Chain A
Amino acid sequence: MTALGKLFRTTAFKLSFAYLLVFTIFAFVTLGYVAWSAQRLLTEQFISTIEAEINGLSEQYRVGGLRRLVNIVERRSRAPGASLYLVTTNAGERIAGNVGALPPGVIDRPGQFETPYSRTEDADAGPNHAIIRVYRLPGGFRLLVGRDVEERIRLRDIIHRAFGYSLLFIGILGCAGSWFIARRVLKRVDDMTETTREIMAGDLGGRLRIAGTGDELDRLAQNLNDMLDRIGELMHGMREVSDNIAHDLKTPLTRLRNKADEALRTAKSPDELKGSLEAIIEESDNLIRIFNALLMIARLEAGNAREGLADFNAAETVRDVAELYEALAEEAGLPLEVTVDEDLPLHGSRELLGQAVANLLDNALKYGAQAEGSDAFRSITVSAHRIDGAMRIVVADRGPGIPEADRGRVLERFVRLETARSRPGFGLGLSLVAAVARLHGGALTLEDNEPGLRAVLVLPLGNAQASPEPAQTAA
């Protein structure tokens, strides 16, 4: 009973039932209209037949008098399936015709109307119904012509029966259909519920079954599966990140501990102790830096930095940061070539973009220093231009570059290539740049600079461009 109740409560059942109701009403209206039209058509046919006969007979009466009329009526009355004829005196006494009994007073009524009657040849058959018309002939005689309407009544009965049967059919088929559809949907929803329960219970690899019909349930299942995939990816990422964090923080923490331990054991003078402590502080600052970078990436990925965005000139930011690094680049013997558009209005975070460009320059200097060749060849190029409604910031060096297979990986947190192990860094710089790019609706891609690495940061200028638009339409 509860299973049935559950079925009745399903949306599919309710929907099917509502459709059933609507279709039933529609069928009734259609059938009713057909029946009414058929009846009307028949009646009209009867009436026109009656009118034609009255015209014909009254013409005969005019030409040949009562005798001729009676003869014709007598002859016609005997034909099978004949119309009804009656010729009476003014007082209603029967002269000729095939009509037996009639309700009293009928003979005096004008126009067409329906009345019960019986025929002369089978008076016992009980009254039938007919449409008749009584016509006053000149000379006081009356001519009655009528058509039996039993045919019409039979038709009505047929239609009524059709009504009944179709109602029954619609009812049965509709209920069965609703039940079938509801059960089908319910089964699939139950399957989905079951699977999601299993997933919630810990089977994170479980996925909803796709029936392959491409219907809304399939799409829902597909979306849920995609969502589960995304959650899985995130969880995997989180696990990997926390593993990496644990590992990467353990190394400097161990180093810190060892330094303190060593200082405690071996330092002989206050000066030596002081030196060790300073080294320890430096190491701690590095740790703080890692934490800050991690926190920042986490915050950017959570997306809650979005409310602090504002319009600013990104060209200025790129120039500023390039200028900040210029001295360092010169010191490293790497000329910095900067080409930046005059004006690049961006809606975003000036701070974060500055940080991103700084990180890219940090990398370019770090790895670009390994390049060989003339200073001019080794130079690091920084450019920022507007291309197709987007801002393209490129920082390129002539260092060892990154093999194509590793370019996606190095954007992840704590990923450092073997070749970079010997260089200072934590493997967070590019992750942060990528996070900043995503925050601005853009992307960071790494390309081959042949040789070297070219980091391309593409940020859509859309938002910033949207603001001057009202002014343009006003002009």
Chain B
Amino acid sequence: MSMRILIIEDDREAASYLVKAFREAGYVADHAADGLDGYAMAESGDYDVLVVDRMLPKLDGLSLIRSLREQKVETPVLILSALGQVDDRVKGLRAGGDDYLPKPYAFSELLARVEVLSRRRAATPNAEPTIYRIADLELDRLSHRVTRSGQEIVLQPREFRLLEYLMKNANQVVTRTMLLEHVWDYHFDPQTNVIDVHVSRLRAKIDKGFDKPLIHTIRGAGYMVRVGAEGAEE
């Protein structure tokens, strides 16, 4: 199945870049240039993710999301915003958005977030499993136990949450900012490689001594938990 993305953005150049980039990543991407068109397309079309600019002609981004939610359209929404004020994220999420990315952003960041959102949609109907499994790695969310090939691995609470988030989004790119958001609950951009150190410590505990590494670094993007050795992007 191919993910269907609707981009609601009035800046034509930015929109066509996004459409092209998403198509190159192997997805179906449509574009709406204003809020009303976007609303109509989002309501009728079967999209997996909506990428909505906050400031749109005719119907602004937040109103559009609120209207969709009132119509019981539960498609995950990622809000793009040039405003980026501190409480903008809160406003956006309160209106019914699922994620928020301030402009300017790197496409790899947007792509990773959109992929996570679409997977969440696929996973919502049946509740999250209590045990995540990748190859021989197992994480039990209830007992907080991690084992690999049956051997228990002792993790610090923060390392556990890090691995939990990575495994929840297995086979998907997870960026450093996403990790900071979900594991530490902060939304700023760490300037040095703080996240990398935490990941490499986790990797030392998870992958050391095993011939198949599971935590992979994706250059220019972030990390991914998956089976398979190539470290390149797909």
> Is A366 within 8 A of B192, CB to CB?
yes
> Is B191 within 8 A of A299, CB to CB?
no
- Cβ of B186 within 8 Å of any chain A Cβ, yes or no, is yes
The contact string, 1 if C-beta is below 8 Å from chain A, for chain B 194-234, is: 10011001000000000000000001100000000000000
A contact residues, range = 35 or more
> Is B104 within 8 A of A292, CB to CB?
yes
**Chain A residues near B219 (CB-CB < 8 A):** 278
Query: For B105, B189, B193, which residue has the most chain A Cβ atoms within 10 angstroms?
Result: B189
The contact string, 1 if C-beta is below 8 Å from chain A, for chain B 179-196, is: 010001111111111100
> Is A425 within 8 A of B191, CB to CB?
yes
The contact string, 1 if C-beta is below 8 Å from chain B, for chain A 416-430, is: 000000000100010
**Chain B residues near A285 (CB-CB < 8 A):** 106, 220
The contact string, 1 if C-beta is below 8 Å from chain A, for chain B 110-122, is: 0000000000000
| Size of B's binding interface in residues, CB under 8 A | 29
**Chain B residues near A328 (CB-CB < 8 A):** 192-194, 197
Provide the bound-state CA to CA distance between A288 and B110, in Å.
14
Provide the bound-state CA to CA distance between A331 and B204, in Å.
13
- Cβ of B84 within 8 Å of any chain A Cβ, yes or no, is yes
**Chain A residues near B106 (CB-CB < 8 A):** 281, 284-285, 288
- Cβ of B86 within 8 Å of any chain A Cβ, yes or no, is yes
The contact string, 1 if C-beta is below 8 Å from chain A, for chain B 131-166, is: 000000000000000000000000000100000000
Provide the bound-state CA to CA distance between A328 and B190, in Å.
12
- Cβ of B108 within 8 Å of any chain A Cβ, yes or no, is yes
The contact string, 1 if C-beta is below 8 Å from chain B, for chain A 304-340, is: 1101100000000000110111011001000000000
Smallest Cβ-Cβ distance to A284: which chain B residue: B106
**Chain B residues near A304 (CB-CB < 8 A):** 85
> Is B85 within 8 A of A308, CB to CB?
yes
Provide the bound-state CA to CA distance between A252 and B186, in Å.
27
Provide the bound-state CA to CA distance between A366 and B194, in Å.
12
- Min CB distance A248 to B, Å, is 15
Query: For A282, A284, A285, A293, which residue has the most chain B Cβ atoms within 10 angstroms?
Result: A285
Smallest Cβ-Cβ distance to A288: which chain B residue: B104
Provide the bound-state CA to CA distance between A330 and B42, in Å.
49
- Cβ of B40 within 8 Å of any chain A Cβ, yes or no, is no
**Chain A residues near B85 (CB-CB < 8 A):** 299, 304-305, 308
The contact string, 1 if C-beta is below 8 Å from chain B, for chain A 267-306, is: 0000000000010011011001101110110010000110
Provide the bound-state CA to CA distance between A295 and B88, in Å.
14
Provide the bound-state CA to CA distance between A156 and B219, in Å.
110
Interface residues of B in 78-127 (CB under 8 A from A): 84-88, 90, 102, 104-106, 108
> Is B186 within 8 A of A308, CB to CB?
no
Provide the bound-state CA to CA distance between A320 and B102, in Å.
23
**Chain A residues near B192 (CB-CB < 8 A):** 328, 362, 365-366
- Cβ of A256 within 8 Å of any chain B Cβ, yes or no, is no
Interface residues of A in 381-429 (CB under 8 A from B): 425, 429
- Min CB distance A244 to B, Å, is 18
Smallest Cβ-Cβ distance to B185: which chain A residue: A320
**Chain B residues near A352 (CB-CB < 8 A):** 86
What's the dominant secondary structure at chain B's contact region? loop
**Chain B residues near A327 (CB-CB < 8 A):** 194, 197-198, 201
Smallest Cβ-Cβ distance to B88: which chain A residue: A308
* Listed stretches A26-34, A122-130, A189-197, A353-361; interface member: A353-361
> Is A320 within 8 A of B186, CB to CB?
yes
The contact string, 1 if C-beta is below 8 Å from chain B, for chain A 457-469, is: 0000000000000
Provide the bound-state CA to CA distance between A299 and B85, in Å.
7
Provide the bound-state CA to CA distance between A109 and B90, in Å.
102
Provide the bound-state CA to CA distance between A299 and B185, in Å.
22
A281/B105 contact (C-beta < 8 A), A307-B87, A327-B197, A351-B188 known? no
- Cβ of A349 within 8 Å of any chain B Cβ, yes or no, is yes
**Chain B residues near A359 (CB-CB < 8 A):** 191
A281/B220 contact (C-beta < 8 A), A288-B104, A358-B190, A429-B191 known? yes
> Is A278 within 8 A of B84, CB to CB?
no
- Min CB distance A279 to B, Å, is 9
> Is A320 within 8 A of B184, CB to CB?
yes
Provide the bound-state CA to CA distance between A368 and B178, in Å.
28
> Is A324 within 8 A of B201, CB to CB?
no
Smallest Cβ-Cβ distance to B90: which chain A residue: A308
**Chain A residues near B188 (CB-CB < 8 A):** 351, 354-355, 358
4 further contact pairs, Cβ within 8 A, besides A299-B85, A328-B197, A362-B192 = A278-B219, A289-B189, A308-B86, A358-B186
> B residues near A, CB below 8 A?
84-88, 90, 102, 104-106, 108, 158, 180, 184-194, 197-198, 201, 219-220
> A residues near B, CB below 8 A?
278, 281-282, 284-285, 288-289, 291-293, 295-296, 299, 304-305, 307-308, 320-321, 323-325, 327-328, 331, 349, 351-352, 354-355, 358-359, 362, 365-366, 425, 429
Q: Ordered nearest first, which 10 A-B pairs have the shortest CB separation?
A: A308-B87, A355-B188, A327-B197, A308-B86, A281-B220, A305-B86, A328-B197, A354-B186, A288-B104, A278-B220
Q: List 15 A-B contacts (CB under 8 A).
A: A284-B106, A285-B106, A288-B105, A291-B104, A299-B85, A305-B86, A305-B87, A324-B180, A325-B194, A327-B194, A328-B194, A349-B86, A351-B186, A354-B188, A429-B191
